[in-house]
Amino acid sequence: MRPTLPRLVNILVPVKRSIDYAVKIRVASDGKGVDTNVKHSMNPFDEIAVEEAIRLREKKSVAVDSITAISIGPAKAVDTIRTALAMGADAGIHVVTPENAIVEPIAVASALKKVIEDKKIDLVIMGKQAIDDDSGSTGGILAGKLGWSQGSFASKLELKEGGQVDITREIDGGLEQISSKLPVIVTTDLRLNEPRYASLPNIMKAKKKKIETIKPEDLGLDLTPRLETISVSEPPKRQGGGKVESVDELVSKMKEAGVI
Amino acid sequence: MASPRNIARLATRLASRRTPVPSTSTLRAPIKAKTTMFVRNGSTLPPRSTRFAEATETHLNALKSISSSTLSTLDSTASADELKTYNDDWMNKYHGKSQIVVKPKTTEEVSQIMKYCYENDLAVVPQGGNTGLVGGSNPVHDEIILNLSNLNQIRSFDEVSGVLVADGGVILETADHYLAEKGFIFPLDLGAKGSCHIGGNVSTNAGGLRLLRYGSLHGTVLGLEVVLPDGTIWNGLSGLRKDNTGFDLKQLFIGSEGTIGIITAISILCPRRPSAMNVAVFSLDSYEAVQKVFAEAKGHLGEILSAFEFFDKQSYALVKKHQEENGGERKVFETEGDFYCLIETGGSNAEHDEAKLTGLLEHLMENEMVLDGVLAQDSTQFQSLWSLRELVPESAGKAGSVYKYDVSVPVGKMYGLVEKMRAKLREGGILEGDGQKDGPIRAVAGYGHMGDGNLHINIVANKYTDEVEKIIEPYIYEIVAENEGSISAEHGLGVMKAPYIGYSKNDTSIDLMKKVKTLFDPKGLLNPYKYIV
């Protein structure tokens, strides 16, 4: 824990380049993964995280000193960082991993921990999960590693004077309100906000913003996977239906099928 | 827990993507002052012609022996209610009184049905997905409905040439899904794609969203199989791109609205499906600026420019209001303008496309040609930005009773029409605002497909009244004619606009058209009372 309360808040937003939400996922020919030669975009939950960080700054209830977007991924992840910068983040950090390397949540959390300590981050806002692997564990692992509080599945976030953070969480059957002190990890749920569009002036400005590149070795990272993917398969195909000519035929077919 | 699907809930409620057919005429149409009759609500229709026989049970039995899939109220194989689906159009504006619906399964059956009807003087209306807007696919009186939905097989597809041969009754979306699996795209896309038939699309020369990129059906259709009014099957299903041997007969059937033959199969050239798509929307301060951006977009983007749409601030206000009412509003622009335009790109290489698009955006910003703009960062945003344009018709519909006009005019003159219409309504003292607090007209919105020179004018009134209508019509057709435009860009003539053809075509054209009709259909049995009257 940091000994003194920060007067200016530094926010870190981890963003992941994942397969675009609208793309139809296909199993790769080796049956051990999915076809990744498709459109990629920022993980939608991370987009919400970027938006929330910018809104906190705009609300001015507490002065936000910096918003840094970080991505741990292959060369193309830089596009995802640029999107965050175009939305309004100030600077980017790209931890470049080899193409096609599988980076597990524990490795991501380790990398983030190093950067957080180095950059004196007070608040981490991140997606509750990535829509590609659906692990949903990076936020939790990171909070554990740092020994910070965490507010997961946030649908409302308020930053108050004195470093107080009020979080509304979406839980089964209702909402839960929790309060904590900075530093905090917040993971975002869908209802937190609706992300803005990247405007042209901001896209242009984003081109001039700095993206720092870091090698995994420099963070002392071990990317060796701990898990082995045995197989990936598609859900069973839906059987096509048939047309019936009359109600009588429908009834007899239903009887045949034993549903009535 | 909520799924990311919710993010797109508004975006998926896309309004129809209707796009136009460009004006094929550059003829200077003489302005005709006479308005023969008014048929907007189907209230004033041409009387039933005594030339046609009335359908009897004998006729029905003969048709049944040709096609087992025949429905009729004459022998109670169907109730009047069941036939309503075929007799009425989807807007519930036109109501036919046919007693027989035949749904042949093969071209041979279509041929035999036509032969029988021809010999027995029975009038026939061919019907596809029944998604038209001008009453072209419904009987006016008691014409026999020849519905093509059972003629729905894909016949062949050549992956090398991209030539698809399919029955006329194949649903557009089905054809496109089939092609998507193979990495190809149907060169036509429109709002009714889930119901409309490709045969109907060709018959009405539907324009569609992809027109700017792939051109009209006059170019993409390579061949047709048509059953002529007397039952003769004309096999013109060539897969040839070049064929200079005699008249190009298929062109006559494209856009003939089922008046000279029934399209039973088409052969069409399908391009590769673009793998990378993007969209940007801009706010601008004048219509001149929109035109400049259009020119720049063509220059910078070249072959990847796949759509260029525009809408005015009145249209955008309607959409915003509609979105607010549905809780889906989302701030798009820091600086709003009097005009907006949308640019879509589609190409085969995302990086290449992006470099081009970024080049354009930088150029537009640096030269201050646009006020503000946004660029979609993912597919969800792609859809929600498109919805700003696509929700205009739906939003206008929610705001009141809408007088809809769909016209083609040279791009430079497009918006002048909207301004003239506004001035006319203001002059008549019925436009809200300008001191008229409770005028019956709430808004005049202009939007459309800049790339195709197609303008939509939506006049939102608090209700349909004769006084308002008299101020709008025939004034609107007159200003279209003055600007060398066409009174029907994409919707066709059908029964609705048939009386107004004189505003867009000169006497020689109309005379030639009548001769063509008589040549193919001397008895005038096919789709009577419409198109050219």
Tokens of B94: 């036109």
Q: Which residues contact B169 (CB under 8 A, 6 or more apart)?
A: B128, B148, B149, B150, B151, B152, B197, B199
Q: Tell me whether A145 touches chain B (CB under 8 Å).
A: no
For CA atoms B164, B170, B176, B181, the dihedral sign is negative
How far is the alpha carbon of A9 from chain B, nearest alpha carbon, in Å?
26
**What pLDDT shows up at residue B41?**
45
Decide if A201 and B365 are in contact by the 8 Å CB cutoff.
Answer: yes
Kindly tell me if the per-residue pLDDT of A247 is higher than 70.
yes
As given in the structure block, the two tokens for residue A35 are: 């076809």
What is residue B328's predicted lDDT score, i.e. its pLDDT? Answer: 67
Question: Mean pLDDT, to the nearest integer, of B422-427?
Answer: 88
In the A/B pair of chains, how many CB contacts fall below 8 A?
Answer: 83
Closest CA to B219 of B239, B241, B237, B238: B241
Q: Using the beta-carbon criterion (under 8 Å), do B373 and A131 form an inter-chain contact?
A: no
**CA dist list (Å): B358 to B339, B351, B367, B507:** 21, 10, 14, 50
Residue A200 is nearest to which of B8, B375, B381, comparing CB atoms?
A: B375
CATH dotted code for B154-269: 3.30.465.10
Could you report how far apart the first and last alpha carbons of chain B are, in Å?
60
pLDDT tens digit sequence for B472-496 = 888 999 999 998 899 888 888 888 8
Percent of chain A with pLDDT over 90: 58
User: Which CATH architecture does the domain made up of B396-506 adopt?
Assistant: 2-Layer Sandwich (3.30)
pLDDT of residue B433: 65
Is B378 in the A-facing interface, judged by CB distances under 8 Å? Answer: yes
Alpha carbon distance B516, B17 (integer Å): 32
User: Helix (H, G, I), strand (E, B), or coil: what is residue B100?
Assistant: strand
- Asked if residue B30 has pLDDT above 50, the reply is no
Please provide the average confidence, as pLDDT, over all residues in chain A: 90
Which of A200, A202, A243 is most worth mutating to test chain B (most B CB atoms within 10 A of its CB)? A200
Distance CA A259, CA B4 (A): 34
Interval A236-240 mean pLDDT? 82
Q: Which long-range contacts (CB under 8 A, 24 or more apart) does B205-208 make?
A: B205/B21, B205/B254, B205/B255, B205/B492, B206/B21, B206/B490, B207/B18, B207/B19, B207/B20, B207/B21, B207/B22, B207/B449, B207/B452, B207/B454, B207/B489, B207/B490, B208/B17, B208/B18, B208/B19
* CATH code for the domain defined by B42-147: 3.30.43.10
pLDDT band at B437, cuts 50/70/90? low
More confident residue, B435 or B274: B274
pLDDT at B97 over 90: yes
Residue B96 has pLDDT above 80, yes or no: yes
> Quick one: which H or E segment has residue B110?
helix B107-119
User: Both tokens of residue A224?
Assistant: 């060796």
Q: What is the mean pLDDT of residues B5-23?
A: 36
Q: Where are the domains of chain B?
A: 4-21+279-393, 42-147, 154-269, 396-506
What is the rounded average pLDDT of the residues A116-134? Answer: 93
The rounded percent of chain A whose pLDDT value lies above 70 is 97
Strands B372-375, A198-199: pairing kind: antiparallel
At B424 the three-state DSSP class reads helix
pLDDT single digits (tens) A11-60? 999 999 999 988 888 898 888 888 888 889 999 999 999 999 999 999 88
For residues B102 and B70, what is the distance between their CA atoms, to the nearest angstrom? 4
Do domains B4-21+279-393 and B154-269 share one topology? The answer is no
Q: In the prediction, which pLDDT does B153 show?
A: 96
Query: Residue A90 in contact with residue A67, Cβ under 8 Å?
Result: yes
Is the predicted pLDDT of residue A7 greater than 70, yes or no? no
Task: Verify whether the Cβ–Cβ distance A199 to B380 is below 8 Å.
Answer: no
Which of A83, A197, A237 is the best mutation test for B, with the most CBs of B within 10 A?
A: A197
Partners of residue A154 on adjacent β-strands? A169, A188
The whole-angstrom separation of Cα A159 and Cα A56 is 7
Q: Express each pLDDT in B345-404 by its tens digit.
A: 998 888 889 889 989 998 998 899 999 999 998 888 888 898 898 888 888 888 888 888
Q: What's the pLDDT band for B298 if we cut at 50, 70, 90? A: very high
CATH number of B4-21+279-393: 3.30.70.2190
Which pLDDT tens digit goes with each residue over A149-174?
A: 999 999 999 998 888 999 999 888 88
In sequence order, what DSSP letters do the residues of B331-364 get, joined into one string? ---SS--SEEEEEEEEES-HHHHHHHHHHHHHHH
Helix (H) or strand (E) holding B294: helix B287-301
Nearest CA in chain B to A131: B4
Task: Give the pLDDT score at B434.
Answer: 52
How many alpha carbons fall within 13 Å on the CB side of residue B24?
A: 18
Residue B5 zone, left/alpha/beta (φ > 0; ψ -120 to 50; rest): alpha
Condensed to tens digits (0 to 9), the pLDDT of residues B279-296 reads 999 999 999 999 999 999
CA B516 to chain centroid:
24
ipTM of the complex as predicted? 0.78
Q: How far apart are CA B451 and CA B448, in angstroms?
A: 9
Q: How many Å apart are CA A211 and CA A73, to the nearest integer?
A: 14
Residues B480, B503: Cα–Cα separation, whole Å: 8
- pTM reported for the whole predicted model: 0.78
Question: Radius of gyration (Cα) for chain A, nearest Å?
Answer: 22
- pLDDT attached to residue A260: 81
The 10 Å CB-count burial string (b at 16+, else e) for A75-102 is: eebbbbbbbbbbbbbbbbbbbbbeeeee
Radius of gyration of chain B (CA): 24
Nearest to A196, CA basis, from A45, A64, A60, A50: A50
The answer to whether the peptide bond before residue B474 is cis (omega within 30 degrees of 0) is: yes
Closest to B306 (Cα-Cα) out of B17, B25, B13: B17
Does B386 touch chain A if contact means CB atoms closer than 8 Å?
Answer: no
Say what the pLDDT of residue B14 is: 34
Q: Is the pLDDT of residue B17 over 60?
A: no
Q: What region does A240 belong to: left with phi over 0, alpha with psi -120 to 50, or beta?
A: beta
Helix, strand, coil percentages in chain A from 3-state DSSP, rounded to 5: 30, 30, 40
Question: Alpha helix (H) ranges present in B121-274?
Answer: 172-181, 198-203, 211-214, 217-220, 250-253
Residues 6+ apart with CB under 8 A from A139: A124, A126, A128, A150, A152, A185, A187
Q: State how far the alpha carbon of B303 is from the alpha carbons of A236, B235, B290, B410, in Å.
A: 40, 34, 20, 22
Instruction: Reply yes or no on whether the pLDDT at B435 is more than 80.
Output: no
Q: With an 8 Å Cβ cutoff, are A42 and B378 in contact?
A: yes
